Copies of this chain bind each other. A is one copy, B any other.
């Protein structure tokens, strides 16, 4: 696996460690609730960085998968796993790599995490006020009751907290639920919540590249996603305009809103308030139970996924994937507005939420 990142501005400090801090957050193999594959996931920058700084040239980063055991997947050969994309790929392309490394595998998401890690480094320099949090909002019927806000990254990603919920008690409850499912060879879906603050007013392009649209596209291309909503989302659909509208107020000399049902985005353009929303992930389809299905000859068969090594809950890995994906989209919007060479600009001078002068 790897990633090639083109268009990264020059002069950004970047090391292998800046990447691995994020790939570690996504890495499986840490515990019981993630797959037992011992992927090393050691990222190595092979071009585009010199003397510790980006050059403005394409950055290639490779991640070697030391524990790849393709024969583990052999039993699946010729059989279509229920709700797995193998079938679609077979019909589309005819030629298939039946091992675990294909395009439909969640392995490709490591590329998104690598690119996001670089994007975070650039954002730190260009838009240092931007902060992000992604955490598990719900697993099964266990729902985290905390408000959408920026939580401490340590609380979400620390080694023991495999379910990525910032509240320890809820996270443990989720873990127990997962472990029980695992025992019966099953998996669980999850809802993740994402939060971004410190965003300047005006990110997002009218008509097609609204920031809701660009975020939705990237998130809905992550394997196993089933839905996305912004602000109060589907709840807004049940409301009256007078209840749902966020009134503008003046606060500390700046125009703000007194509520944030909009989730920081109106008409696809950021309004300077906190962006937030939620993503639905289905339970992973590859489970360690016997399931009836058909093979490529249309014959009815029974398969078991126990030989494959798969996660019983998507939440453990998906938080880092979603967070890194958001960083990529945010940086694209920032650079679209403020230039590809913006590292030379004094970004602080852009007025963010400042009141216009009286005429």
Contact = CB atoms under 8 A, between A and B. Distances in A.
A358 B90 CA distance: 14
A47 to B, nearest CB: 7
B242 A289 contact: yes
A345 interface: yes
Contacts of A55: 93, 95-97, 102-103
Contacts of A219: 216
Interface stretch (A16-24, A31-39, A167-175, A293-301): A293-301
A154 interface: no
Contact of A229 (B217, B227, B270): B227
A221 B209 contact: yes
Contacts of A212: 220-221, 225
B356 A297 contact: yes
Nearest to A297: B358
Contacts of A101: 47
Nearest to A270: B88
A2 B61 CA distance: 12
Interface string A214-241: 1111111101011111111110111111
Interface stretch (A127-135, A144-152, A157-165, A259-267): A259-267
Given A191-B234, A237-B190, A296-B356, A2 B60 contact: yes
| Residue in A4, A185, A207, A291 with the greatest tally of chain B CB atoms within 10 Å | A207
Contact of A83 (B188, B244, B269, B289): B244
Interface residues of A, number: 138
Nearest to A292: B247
A194 to B, nearest CB: 13
- Copies of this chain, how many? 4
A216 B208 CA distance: 12
A11 interface: yes
A220 B213 CA distance: 5
A283 B236 contact: yes
Contact of A267 (B89, B209, B296): B89
**A-B residue pairs, 9 tightest by C-beta:** A85-B267, A227-B229, A339-B339, A92-B202, A88-B269, A187-B241, A217-B217, A103-B206, A56-B93
10 contacts: A55-B96, A87-B248, A94-B344, A103-B206, A208-B221, A214-B217, A217-B220, A221-B268, A234-B280, A243-B283
Interface of A: 2, 4, 10-11, 47, 50-51, 53-58, 60, 80, 82-85, 87-97, 101-104, 108, 138, 140-141, 181, 185-191, 201-202, 204, 206-210, 212-221, 223, 225-234, 236-250, 253, 255, 257, 261-263, 266-272, 277-278, 280-287, 289, 291-294, 296-300, 335-342, 344-345, 350, 353, 355-356, 358
